[in-house]
């Protein structure tokens, strides 16, 4: 049994029974525009990609990274659509196909907290270490959501619940874009969750996920999980291509790596020895341009070939892993070398580690204050302490109503904290701890 492109590429939207376009943009262009104009997307400009709180304006943040991923995703979509055009519905153009991937790509990091992955780990650690502070009404799955906080799941929550139409469809994206956005179609307490706790579905979005399944026709697999939307593999590949290359570019800018370390690897990744190097008299950011372009072009072509070669297993939900790991030859060797050099030189860089240690402290201070304040509110209602009231006042209308559950209260706090920029989280932590200048 295979998934059906007529369902997979549906124009039906979450939260709207009947939708009418504006006569100019396609439904998938409208998805892209809604994401780009959202407040959550705008805040990515002040969120860490790899290097926290960098003063170098050439370094990628989550916003520039997301835009670049969307460009690569669009190119992947156009190339794949040309390959499988005879299998697509007649009313779906190559541009439509690519636009869905582009929209999913631009939203793929929208749920990431401040300080990058360090922020994710800090949120998880706080809830694991302070389980005794959580209300006893929480189910095991709800506790797991908090203790395994995941930016991918938060991203789905933002676009489907929090932005624009609050808990009434969110951005009201098409089910196609929502499906393409989901890399890990299972819950936090699902037995398939791996050691990194990757998942896409909080308990609060189970009903929405079921609507996505019904609308797009994702397959239920023998192990009880669901297949991924085929376009999610291309969204993931676009992200993989960008961060593998652009993490290196940032490291060159920060003098963590040298060009002579990178050029041999980039030649393998591009499958080309014929790349013009403008020479040592120019800064690395200028020298790297020709190499980067060739590498991205080749990786796109390689991923398209892998998608075509594995088309049947992707469509019947049996494909395992990700597309970029199936690349072989010199390019595969280059991928392995880039992973090694980033792990050893970039992610263990002393300055990066120092800043991430500080980010843990900021997240801990914030969560400790807000969780204690909301516990005070749940226990004492309007008779809470002045400090608790002022802390919760910072959330303004992001704090749910008095008749909500403890889980809703805690999720609203993770919504608030994960939505902070690096700068704001640092500022608020200093205010709470009384160390602000």
Count of beta carbons in the 10 Å neighbourhood of residue 231: 28
Which range is least confidently modeled, 9-18, 121-130, 275-284? Answer: 275-284
pLDDT digits over 73-97, tens only? 999 999 999 999 999 999 999 999 9
CA dihedral over 176, 181, 183, 184, signed as positive or negative? negative
Report the pLDDT value the prediction gives residue 168, as an integer from 0 to 100: 92
Q: Return the domain boundaries, the chain.
A: 5-113+139-216, 237-346, 350-433
pLDDT digits over 383-403, tens only? 899 999 999 999 988 888 878
Stated pTM of the model: 0.91
Query: CATH number of the domain at 5-113+139-216, out of 3.30.470.20, 1.10.3210.10, 3.40.50.300, 3.40.1480.10?
Result: 1.10.3210.10
Mean pLDDT on 212-218: 96
> Does the pLDDT at position 195 exceed 50?
no
> To the nearest 10°, the Cα dihedral for 97, 302, 64, 170?
30
Count of beta carbons in the 10 Å neighbourhood of residue 99: 25
For residue 420, give both structure tokens: 């902070």
Between CA 168 and CA 185 the distance in angstroms is 21
Mark out the alpha helices in 136-181 (DSSP H runs). 140-147, 151-157, 175-181
Mean pLDDT on 109-138: 92
Between CA 349 and CA 51 the distance in angstroms is 10
- SS3 category, 201: strand
Cβ contacts of 164 within 8 Å, gap of 6 or more? 34, 38, 170, 171, 172
Indicate the fold that domain 237-346 takes in CATH.
Answer: putative deoxyguanosinetriphosphate triphosphohydrolase fold (1.10.3410)
73, 124, 176, 247, 407 from 52: Cα distances, Å:
26, 19, 33, 13, 30
Residue 226 phi, psi (nearest 5): -120, 155
pLDDT digits over 118-127, tens only? 889 899 999 9
State the CATH class of domain 350-433. Answer: mainly alpha
For residue 340, give both structure tokens: 């090694």
CA dihedral over 73, 421, 123, 247, signed as positive or negative? positive
Query: Is-contact 281 275, C-beta < 8 A?
Result: no
pLDDT digits over 309-351, tens only? 999 999 999 998 999 999 988 889 888 888 888 777 665 666 6
State the pLDDT confidence band at 197, using cuts at 50, 70 and 90. low
> Does the pLDDT at position 192 exceed 70?
no
> Does the pLDDT at position 239 exceed 60?
yes
State the pLDDT confidence band at 182, using cuts at 50, 70 and 90. very high
Percent of the chain, pLDDT > 90?
61
């Amino acid at each position: 049994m295979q998934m059906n492109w007529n369902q997979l590429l549906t124009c039906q939207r979450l939260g709207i029974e009947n939708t009418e376009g504006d006569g100019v943009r396609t439904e998938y262009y409208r998805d892209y525009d809604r994401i780009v104009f959202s407040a959550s997307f705008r805040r990515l400009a002040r969120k860490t990609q790899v290097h926290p709180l960098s003063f170098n304006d050439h370094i990628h943040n989550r916003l520039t990274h997301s835009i670049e991923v969307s460009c690569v995703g669009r190119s992947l979509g156009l190339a794949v659509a040309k390959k499988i055009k005879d299998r697509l519905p007649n009313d779906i153009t190559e541009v439509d196909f690519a636009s869905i991937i582009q929209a999913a790509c631009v939203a793929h990091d929208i749920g990431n907290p401040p300080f990058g992955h360090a922020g994710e780990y800090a949120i998880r650690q706080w809830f694991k270490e302070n389980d005794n502070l959580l209300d006893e009404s929480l189910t095991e799955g709800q506790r797991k959501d908090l203790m395994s906080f995941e930016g991918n799941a938060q991203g789905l929550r933002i676009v489907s619940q929090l932005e624009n139409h609050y808990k009434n469809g969110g951005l009201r994206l098409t089910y196609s874009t929502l499906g393409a956005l989901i890399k890990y179609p299972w819950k936090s307490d699902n037995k398939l969750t791996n050691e990194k706790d990757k998942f896409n579905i909080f308990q609060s979005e189970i009903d929405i996920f079921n609507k996505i399944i019904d609308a797009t026709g994702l397959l239920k697999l023998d192990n009880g999980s669901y297949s991924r939307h085929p376009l999610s593999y291309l969204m993931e590949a676009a992200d993989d291509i960008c961060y593998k290359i652009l993490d290196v570019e940032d490291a060159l800018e920060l003098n963590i790596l040298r060009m002579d370390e990178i050029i041999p690897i980039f030649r393998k990744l591009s499958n080309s020895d014929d790349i013009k190097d403008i020479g040592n008299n120019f800064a690395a950011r200028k020298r790297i341009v020709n190499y980067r372009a060739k590498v991205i072009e080749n990786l796109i072509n390689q991923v398209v070939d892998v998608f075509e070669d594995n088309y049947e297993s992707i469509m019947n939900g049996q494909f395992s892993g990700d597309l970029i790991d199936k690349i072989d030859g010199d390019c595969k060797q280059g991928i392995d070398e880039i992973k090694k050099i980033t792990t050893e030189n970039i992610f263990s860089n002393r300055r990066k580690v120092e800043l991430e240690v500080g980010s843990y402290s900021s997240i801990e201070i914030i969560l400790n204050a807000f969780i204690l304040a909301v516990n005070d509110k749940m226990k004492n209602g309007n008779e809470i302490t002045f400090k608790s009231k002022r802390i919760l006042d910072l959330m303004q209308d992001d704090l749910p109503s008095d008749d909500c559950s403890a889980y809703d209260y805690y999720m609203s706090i993770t919504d608030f904290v994960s939505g902070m920029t690096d700068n704001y989280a640092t500022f608020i932590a200093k205010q709470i701890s009384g160390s602000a200048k």
